[in-house]
Amino acid sequence: MQTIRELEALGPALAELRGRGIALRGQGATVALVPTMGALHAGHMALIEEAGRRADRVVATIFVNPLQFAAGEDLDRYPRREAEDAAMLAAGGCDLVWMPTATQLYPRGFATNVSVAGISERWDGAARPGHFDGVATVVLKLLIATMPEVALFGEKDFQQLAVIRQLVRDLGLPVAVVGVPIVRDADGLALSSRNAYLSADERRRAVALPQALEEARAAIRTGHEPVATILAAARARLVAAGFERIDYVALVDAATLEPIDTLDREARLAAAASLGKTRLIDNIAL
């Protein structure tokens, strides 16, 4: 696996990977991109594995994107484990990892903000103003720099996936966006780089999040109670487990992310809540 840091080195490395110049796109090897912020876990490795099934070459990026963190969030303490990440990527069959610096992606004078209206605004967008602009801006830059045929994102960040799909559709970008199912610990907690922040006690309590979603899903499927009552019970379950700030527990249309109160289409049950200083998100399909 090759590791690239300089933007200038990326083009030649990609050209070599494809077997021909990137100008001859489509005639060389196909490339799948897995953008990450590092601190990799089995969820990321599932993306790399799926990328390997979908394209000839797998490119990953590791970049803790300052634009998607609001002031006071965890940008400074976000886990950074470059050497371990590189070893995991190499073992997982990644061909090239690009680890740009912030100045390469956002040089002095950088003034562009990519904003996907509507779908960015609810849920995590409301709880973390500006977050999805930061995500859309960096993802667009990463896609332009690497020109992959396929780009893969985890379904844990379900709204992020929807925002990126909309971005790609609106701009007509020639890339297929693929969502990869959530990977969970044995007790059901969705893997996340932020789980590392949890104390042992918080980690034990955190399992209430997937459990509350599972229970709500079962109740919604049974159809005996109004959805609003079921969602209120899920919130109460989280409060009882020690979650302090509950940003949302919602049943949403899987495509538009609009809240729904009857199960008459493909839906997603999603929640975001904080245990101590750690904000966790999760979602399941209905």
Binding residues for ligand PAF, rule: CB under 6 A, are: 35-37, 65, 68, 135, 138-139, 157, 160
Angle at 236 between CA 281 and CA 255, to 5 degrees: 40
* Residue 21 · residue 116 · CB < 8 Å: no
- Out of 41, 44, 131, 224, the active site residue is 44
Indicate if 41 belongs to the active site: no
Closest CA to 281 of 107, 97, 154, 163: 154
The residue among 137 and 248 lying less far from ligand PAF, judged by its C-beta, is 137
> Nearest distance from residue 140's CB to ligand PAF, in Å?
10
The residue among 77 and 265 lying less far from ligand PAF, judged by its C-beta, is 77
Closest CA to 182 of 38, 51, 46: 46
The residue among 65 and 166 lying less far from ligand PAF, judged by its C-beta, is 65
CA dist 250 and 261 (Å) reads 9
Phi and psi at 198, nearest 5°, equal: -70, 135
Q: Under 8 Å CB-to-CB from 274, ≥6 apart: which residues? A: 243, 244, 245, 246, 247, 280
* Residue 284 · residue 213 · CB < 8 Å: yes
> Nearest distance from residue 247's CB to ligand PAF, in Å?
17
Q: What string of DSSP letters covers 189-239?
A: PBP-GGGGG--HHHHHHHTHHHHHHHHHHHHHHHT-S-HHHHHHHHHHHHH
The residue among 45 and 208 lying less far from ligand PAF, judged by its C-beta, is 45
> Nearest distance from residue 187's CB to ligand PAF, in Å?
23
* Residue 32 · residue 149 · CB < 8 Å: yes
Distance of CA 102 to the CA centre of its chain: 19
The residue among 67 and 208 lying less far from ligand PAF, judged by its C-beta, is 67
> Nearest distance from residue 160's CB to ligand PAF, in Å?
6
> Nearest distance from residue 38's CB to ligand PAF, in Å?
8
Active site residues: 44
